[in-house]
Structure 1
Amino acid sequence: MLEARFWSTEGAQGDRVDYWRNAICEAIFELDFDSTASAMDARLSQFEIGAVKLSTVSISAAHEVIRSREAIARNNLPRFNLNYIRRGSWTVEHCGHDIALSPGELVLLDNRQPYRVRSSEGADHVCVHLPIEWLRCWIPQPEDAVARPIRIGTPWRAVLAAALDDAPLIADAAPGNDNLCADQIAGALALAVGPARSMNTTHTRLIYLRIQRAMCDMFHDHDLDAGRVAAALGISPRYLHKILAREQTTYGRELIRIRLERASTMLRDRRFDALSVADVGWRCGFCDASHFSKRFRDAYGVTPGAFRAALQGMPASAH
């Protein structure tokens, strides 16, 4: 289950503005916060999703947030922050730009540079913390995208917004989904801000992630083949194989990897102790127990039974 952390001014002792200032410094990084509404309501929910940290924030009253040079000197975290406005409006001063943002719009901020955010009526937004080196695997020069608003009507904006809206639910649905969700966010961001010359590469990466997700949903089917996965995605089998080749892999290799990852998860989980090793393999799409054992040993260096025994402290022959 996806772990979450929560902060709320409801029930806060003392001044709510002071409480919230401390809360966002703890949850996000060092910021100064001010509001003239001492009785304001504010909530923050935070999720670790693969390489990124996603926070949903709701503040009922007008407010101002400042990332100062002094705060940067004390707390210079190498991250970008992608902000998606769901309700209300923002004005942002950052890197020499004055930006007005409306609901549905997004902007990337550089945590290493000062900024000021104002909301005249309160707002709901999503803030995603993106490690710099990780993001550079998707966008060669992410600094070029900083303070460039992603407006309604921008190509791929809707895809990026949907990825942010759905990430906590999808990441919580099954083991391994968190990294896929983080990659989908980065891929959609690259498409929304990237130059035209990088569109083909990023589009290929997104199709590859969709293929992985479909295979993760269907891996237990013993008769699963590339044609069925391609049909589920609305692409041809030939195009599916072409995309996988560009990622330096094959359909068979990806399917075995996904099935083995799921099998290793089940072997670790005490809830599946009643299942034999062969039953675990069967549920993960392996028709033949000896084939499952060989593939597992090739990938993990031990048989499935020895893997389970080492983790659970039982003789390898117990299952």
Structure 2
Amino acid sequence: MTPALPSAPAGAVRRWSTDAVGAAERLDYWVGAICEGFLEMAATSPRSADFHSSLEAVDWGPVSVNQVRGSAQDVYRTRAAIARSRENFCYLLCKTDSAWSAVQASRGARLLPGDLVLVDSRERYEFHFPERADTVSLQLRPEWLERWLPDIRAAAGRRIDGQQGWGRALSAFACQLTPALAAAPPLPAALLTDQLGALIALAAGTPPQDEPALASLRRRILDRVRERHAEPGLTAAAIAADLGISERTLHRSLAGGELSFAHHLMACRMEVAARLLADARFDRLTVAEIGRRVGLLDASHFVRTCRARLGATPAQLRRQRR
């Protein structure tokens, strides 16, 4: 039988942990924990056999400070859950150790370490934590948040860049708001929540980056990778330096188009390799030489990559056109 979930007076740290139950009951216990600690949601995990998670929470007036630690998992707020809920909240989430993604209604955000996202529980959302779910989650009463951010709907589901501008300040501040600090705050809680509200207004209330400018930078990155794809050992850092941008900016720009540097680089290499292997004029070149011409110095690696990405080895591709 699953143990009863804990309760605690306002201002005290409330704790839930799957260590309280056997392995077979942990995921069910965790769903109950997040429903009790946050609001009604569903959760699944690819690590059900060795799943573990914990939640610590402190109520702080209009803000609740929560810290989740645990296994890879997917969390869903469904229409049915919304219909059953007696109250709703907004959540500001920040994760610093690995990339993850969030979807609010039809708006998706891929989040890198340090980024933040705001979601509104009055609309469907999803969180996908492919590695770990270690996250700071600040539960915000909508009526309080509307004092700082009048248009919550416009901000919900958008990535807040945690590495620059006011987003960087908000990320640093939010990650300091642990349940332990909230239980014994160094300053009056009202002062700290006002600081949080002001930073949310500055970071999430500003217009998003100019999309045409981002698309233009992305095209420049993709074109430069295509130009230099034949260089062995080509790195994202080298392309970023070539374009006069930071490596992080490069990755963020590509992520905005649901692309990655490594995937695009290999796609360029395989496109050229396929063209060379399909042209009889290049039959004089060995497979190893074609690999070298597209930046892959290890012949066996080139053969394996062709099989994986083009569906056949270089020799088979040559035979297929005859």
Shorter-chain TM-score range:
0.5 to 0.7
Partner of residue 188 from structure 2, selected from 174, 177, 197:
177
Shift, 1:74, TM fit: 0.2
CA contact (8 A) 2:98 2:131 kept: yes
CA contact (8 A) 1:105 1:150 kept: yes
CA distance in 2, matches of 1:67, 1:3: 27
Partner of residue 34 from structure 2, selected from 24, 29, 49:
24
Aligned to 2:131, what secondary structure does the other structure show? coil
Q: Which residue identity is paired with 2:17?
A: S
Structure 1 or 2, whichever has the larger Rg, is: 2
Partner of residue 47 from structure 1, selected from 58, 62, 68:
58
What per-residue deviation string (whole Å, max 9, x for no partner) do you get for residues 211-245 of structure 1?
Answer: xxxxxxxxxxxxxxxxxxxxxxxxxxxxxxxxxxx
Q: Which residue identity is paired with 1:120?
A: P
1:194 aligned to 2:205?
A: yes
CA contact (8 A) 2:115 2:163 kept: no
Q: Which residue identity is paired with 2:82?
A: I
User: Is the deviation greater in 176-185 or in 30-39?
Assistant: 176-185
Shift, 1:78, TM fit: 3.0
CA distance in 2, matches of 1:55, 1:135: 17
Identity %: 33
Q: Which residue identity is paired with 1:187?
A: A
TM-score by length of 2: 0.56
CA distance in 2, matches of 1:177, 1:56: 20
Partner of residue 118 from structure 1, selected from 128, 138, 146:
128
CA contact (8 A) 2:54 2:68 kept: yes
Number of residue pairs matched? 195
The answer for unaligned runs of 5 or more in structure 1 is 197-319
The aligned counterpart of 1:308 is none
CA distance in 2, matches of 1:126, 1:82: 8
User: Is the deviation greater in 162-171 or in 121-130?
Assistant: 162-171
The aligned counterpart of 2:236 is none
Q: What is the Cα-based RMSD across aligned positions, in Å?
A: 2.1
Shift, 1:165, TM fit: 2.5
Change (3 A) 1:190 1:34: same
Partner of residue 8 from structure 1, selected from 9, 17, 24:
17
CA contact (8 A) 1:83 1:125 kept: yes
CA contact (8 A) 2:108 2:158 kept: no
The aligned counterpart of 1:310 is none
Matches within 5 A, 1:239-318: none
CA contact (8 A) 2:67 2:136 kept: yes
Shift, 1:103, TM fit: 1.1
What per-residue deviation string (whole Å, max 9, x for no partner) do you get for residues 261-283 of structure 1?
Answer: xxxxxxxxxxxxxxxxxxxxxxx
What per-residue deviation string (whole Å, max 9, x for no partner) do you get for residues 247-268 of structure 1?
Answer: xxxxxxxxxxxxxxxxxxxxxx
Q: Which residue identity is paired with 1:152?
A: G
CA distance in 2, matches of 1:40, 1:88: 18
Aligned to 1:140, what secondary structure does the other structure show? coil
CA contact (8 A) 1:56 1:124 kept: yes
1:146 aligned to 2:156?
A: yes
